[in-house]
Amino acid sequence: MKKYMMGLDLGTTAVKAVLFSTEGEYVDKETEHYPLHTPDVHTAEQDPDEILGKAMRAVKTLVERNSCGNSIEFISCSSAMHSLILLDRSGSRLTECITWADRRSEDVAEAWNTEKGVSIYRRTGTPIHPMSPFIKLLYFKEANPGMYSRIGKIVGIKEYVLHHFTGLYEVDKSVASSMGMMNLETSQWDEEVLDILELSPEQLPDIVDTTRVYPSLNRAYDHLGVAEETKIVIGASDGVLANLGVNAIEEGDIAITIGTSGAIRTVIDAPRTDAKMRIFCYHLTNDHYVIGGPVNNGGVVLRWVRDELCQEEVGEAATKGKDPYEVMTQAAKDIQPGSNGLIFHPYLAGERAPLWNAKAVGSFYGMTLSHSRSHMIRAAMEGVVYNLYSVYLALREQMSSVKSIKASGGFARSEMWKQLMSDVFGEQLTVPKSYESSAFGACLLGLYAIGEMDDLSAVSNFVGESDAYTPDEKVYMKYQEIMSVYIEIGRALEPFYDRMDDIR
């Protein structure tokens, strides 16, 4: 009987259940979308019970469609980082799922961006920023002490879902290390952080290895359509698993992901942080740590351009039966590299790396009467890549050399965007033909967890064929000139972010 493995990826906008054979061959996937509730500019929440229900439905639909309920070896889990759900002592919810994009704690983050805050960053690997559950908890401690005093358990979305699968509250070291609360050296909750928050370890999930295997499903199999003996692997966060999924785990390998947001990461063998707090450091396994920088502004920028600037292109796409993004990127492709001097700083949702400033805002610079909507589309795409490149410069300081750059995410469906990234970085870019890097990475970690893979270096045997993109040297040199202007303008604008936030 053919055996399968499933990656369950709990993302910011959707859950994906992705089915692979145990040899690594992609079979099928099921996606369930859910909304991000943003009633004001600072709040970004989701309904965790809706996510739980859609996760279970995605698994069941995928299983039924492929008639494989009795042949799934394991389900391994991936999730977005930095989510926070507060439960009372009876296990009832005190809050919705507060996502990484929630900005209510930005004033708290600004107040803690001090020597003491940097000291916490160096121990935990999570920069001081509103995305951090540590900072979010400080906010609720000050803003809603009545609710805060009722906290019985603090979890994220993966822990919430897995509690319904396993009956336990446990958090893997990868997700725990993204909370700003786990000491990277001890892999335990940091004592000083707990003292600051006035919390006990019992109010947090138990920290376990990313290879933790649950031998049964605590009756959840009744609702998933799988066999009772189907294993659950706790897995890790989507970012570190994406490195596994594109086989970027050796020294000098860099992985870049652009979905709604984006990130650039590399794997090292021991915890390391940055003196300027520009990058994170998160756990993958006891021998693998991932350093890099996340950006808020990836595909969400192009979505904004589509919705606010490109109704003509959307109409054309509907008439011709095309994807609107296909029409938009064709318009951008007709514009010369550099967008005729138009530069876009893509901070439409604040920014994490490299600024770590939730109050940052987007801007076009250099606009003239000669610029068209097509220039704006290309400048927006270039701005997203410029921003990632500026994070890459900080990451390079932590690396002796760059051996390869491997990319994944929704942007990888665009030939123009992939070539643009290669031209800006001045490096060959390889893109695996399987786009579901986090779910695949979760499955590869699952094979390692159940003993079917002796060492993570063996992931190279599973990652399939890749496409390669080589930079145009002339275009790269032009982008290097533009990058210096992009960075200098960005620095000049930073003092105005606070002032504009006050004006709004």
Alpha-carbon torsion 49, 55, 61, 67, what sign?
Answer: negative
- The whole-number average pLDDT for the span 246-262 is 92
Q: What is the pLDDT of residue 46?
A: 98
- The whole-number average pLDDT for the span 71-89 is 97
Of all residues in the chain, the percent with pLDDT exceeding 90 is 90
Output b/e per residue, 356-376; b: 16+ Cβ within 10 A: bbbbbbbbbbbbeeebeebbb
Q: How far apart are CA 443 and CA 23, in angstroms?
A: 10
- The whole-number average pLDDT for the span 84-89 is 98
Strands 262-268 and 253-258: antiparallel
Residue 219 has pLDDT above 80, yes or no: no
What residue ranges define each of the domains in the chain, with the CATH number in brackets? Answer: 4-246+433-466 (3.30.420.40), 299-398+409-424+477-503 (3.30.420.40)
- Which amino acid is residue 313, in one-letter code? E
pLDDT digit string, tens, across residues 301-324: 999 999 999 999 999 999 999 999
Taking Cα atoms as reference points, which of 333, 477, 336 lies closest to residue 416? Answer: 333
Model pTM score:
0.93
Measure the CA angle with vertex 155, ends 150 and 156; round to 5°.
135
Strands 253-258 and 404-408: parallel
Residue 414 has pLDDT above 90, yes or no: no
Q: What is the pLDDT of residue 435?
A: 64
Q: What is the pLDDT of residue 11?
A: 92
Spell out the alpha helix ranges (H) of 321-371.
Answer: 324-333
Residue 465 has pLDDT above 80, yes or no: no
Higher pLDDT residue, 412 or 241? 241
